[in-house]
Amino acid sequence: MVEKIDHLGIAVKSLEESIAFYENVLGIKCQGMEEVVSQKVRTAFFHVGDTHIELLEPTSDDSPIAKFMSKNGEGIHHVAYYTNDIKSQLEQAQKAGAKLIHKTPIDGAGGKKVAFLHPKSTHGVLTEFCSDEK
Ligand code: ZN
């Protein structure tokens, strides 16, 4: 079951420059940075209440984030829904007609398991499920 929006993923060219915006303009503090090797990105996290902002900077030209920015520029990249059972969430999404990018969860930032639905099957929004399951 989807429990809440866990985070919004935002593609940026430079973590350092973007962190300055969130800290100085919005007044929210960066909680840390992490490289996610499987996604070829560096991330920075901010807490906004119970939800997070996840900034994503590509670490290579063939990173999914680099490809996204070459088409769309910087901006909102994905919406992540928190679930306590990512596998059954994926099964349900597939049964209901969504196209899965990941049939099984992969390692995401913060030690979470994550899996994405293809935006062509979600009305244009790259949709992530994330979970604290091991
Ligand atoms: Zn995410």
Number of H helices, E strands in the chain: 3, 8
* Cβ–Cβ < 8 Å for 113, 105: yes
CA 123 to chain centre: 17
Distance 6 CA to ligand 1 centre (A): 8
Distance 128 CA to ligand 1 centre (A): 6
Condensed to tens digits (0 to 9), the pLDDT of residues 38-86 reads 889 999 999 999 999 999 999 999 999 999 999 999 999 999 999 999 9
Please determine, for residue 111, whether its predicted confidence score (pLDDT) is greater than 90. Answer: no
Distance 2 CA to ligand 1 centre (A): 15
Distance 95 CA to ligand 1 centre (A): 23
Distance 115 CA to ligand 1 centre (A): 9
The pTM of this model reads 0.91
Condensed to tens digits (0 to 9), the pLDDT of residues 9-44 reads 999 999 999 999 999 999 999 999 999 888 899 999
Q: What is the structure's pLDDT at 11?
A: 98
Please determine, for residue 110, whether its predicted confidence score (pLDDT) is greater than 90. Answer: no
CATH number of 2-131: 3.10.180.10
